[in-house]
Amino acid sequence: MRMNRLLCAGIGLALVLPLPARADDADELARIRREIDELKATYEARIRALESRLEQVQKMAATPAPAPVPAAPTPAPLPVASSERNEPPRQAAGPNAFNPAISLILSGLYTSTSQDPANYAITGFPVPEDTEIGPGERSLSLAESELGISASIDPYLRGALRLALEPDNSVAVEEAFIQTTGLSHGVTIKAGRFLSGIGYLNEQHRHYWDFVDSPLAYQAFVGSQFGDDGVQLRWLAPTDTFLEFGGEIGGGRAYPATGSRGNGAGSGALYAHLGGDVGPSNSWRAGLSLLQTSPRDQVTTATDPSGDPVSNAFTGRNRLWLADFVWKWAPDGNPARRNFKLQGEYLWRQQSGELVYALDGAAIPGSFQSTQSGWYLQGIYQFIPRWRVGLRAERLATSSASFSAEGVVVGVPGYEPSRNSVMIDFSPSEFSRFRLQFARDESRQGAPDNQLFLQYQANLGAHGAHRF
């Protein structure tokens, strides 16, 4: 080794140096030789220690490292367009890898309406009494806030819980599920309570909506948003173009269902999503979904031919088709300064079964069938950093309705509910937003409603990205 050669050269040089021939220098010569011997012994000990460490490092390098433990992927769904795929589980980075990520979404609202929200209804589209529709309470109020907790369970599962903190001081479980992270071939399974993957808007949390409220079609057909207790299966195809298929079976706990029938399922859903990129600045996604429920004695309040309220009970099959499309533009794929999103959905519902007409009066049973539809189209434009403007148009229609009971006539309403909204919002950062929205709501025949909303939102804690 190099150190040995230097040591030997130094010793040789010391030995050949001329020394005085005097007798009193003999002791000095002996002392120098002793120091040289001590120095040599010290360096030999250090060399042996270094060689031992080198051997240990070589043995450790030859031993295979233990398999890393995958951590939970973020609750955020897929990134954009062709890269919109389920990412592989991230690797655990230390003892805190399985600590839960906690997020809190705070939201407040000021609402002004020209019509009393307590009397809100959508003409021709009755819903159960406890279904959430309309602009909500007037004046200042807390909007729905959200508390979320998510974490890895083990190398194969992650779990998430999201609580909805309601303005009336109640707490509701919006989502509580486990989801696989270790399955191969693009397969993911989710079990528990979750927002359904139907359509485009349904699976998004409220704080991610571009408007304060959900479209009329969502309110009329699924009560603003459909979630259920059940099992979900998704498959992401191994293709360059984003292609995803999914299916769900649930207990049918909420509108448009009323619960399962015995041991059977109360709801089922199928959907397919397709997406891709068009150059560096554009991306898109389209989807087709089917939600089928089997309501039983579902009580709704409608109006009779005289315009008076009447309560009916429906039992049968409710089939809802949804077609959605989204187009996003950002210069060179960078949305930081400017971007535009065009989003629209068309919903078509068919009901067939038995109806008990006028529960609180004659209670006349008979067969019932109806076909209804609705759509919305909205555009959101960020014209400078942090500032966005948006427009939304929407409409509902009933194409057919029949009730085969003697003495009772159910006609097709000639009125088509509609609403137009405009909004502007400002985001000081990615964690906060302030929004001003105005809507001209003509859902109630003969009672147009001018609605003004001022909303704030604040994100606290860990919060991942959202779906495309």
pLDDT per position as a tens digit, 87-146? 444 444 444 566 899 999 999 999 999 999 998 999 999 999 889 899 999 999 999 899
3-state secondary structure 372-424: EEEEEEEEEEEEECCEEEEEEEEEEEEEEEEEEECCECCCCCCCCCEEEEEEE
Residues of the chain with pLDDT under 70: 1-25, 41-43, 45, 49, 52-53, 55-98, 304-307, 406-413, 463-466
The reported pLDDT for the residue numbered 2 is 47
User: Which is it for the CA torsion 35, 41, 45, 51, positive or negative?
Assistant: positive
**Is the pTM higher than 0.85?**
no
Cα–Cα distance for residue pair 257/315, rounded to 1 Å: 10
Instruction: Give pLDDT, residue 294.
Output: 93
Q: pLDDT value at position 401?
A: 86
For the four alpha carbons of 334, 337, 340 and 341, in that order, the dihedral sign comes to positive
Q: What confidence score (pLDDT) does residue 88 get? A: 40
Between vectors from CA 392 to CA 391 and to CA 397, what angle results, nearest 5°?
160
The upper half-sphere exposure of residue 326, i.e. CA atoms within 13 Å in the direction of its Cβ, equals 18
pLDDT score for 80: 40
| Dihedral sign from CA coordinates of 135, 137, 141, 143 | negative
438 with 451: CB under 8 angstroms? yes
- How far apart CA 208 and CA 240 sit, in angstroms, is 27
Both tokens of 258, joined, read 């009323």
Q: How far apart are alpha carbons 188 and 179 in whole angstroms?
A: 7
Pairwise CA distance, residues 213 & 444, whole Å: 17
Rounded to whole angstroms, the Cα distance separating 171 from 326 reads 33
Residue 70 half-sphere exposure toward CB, CA atoms < 13 A = 15
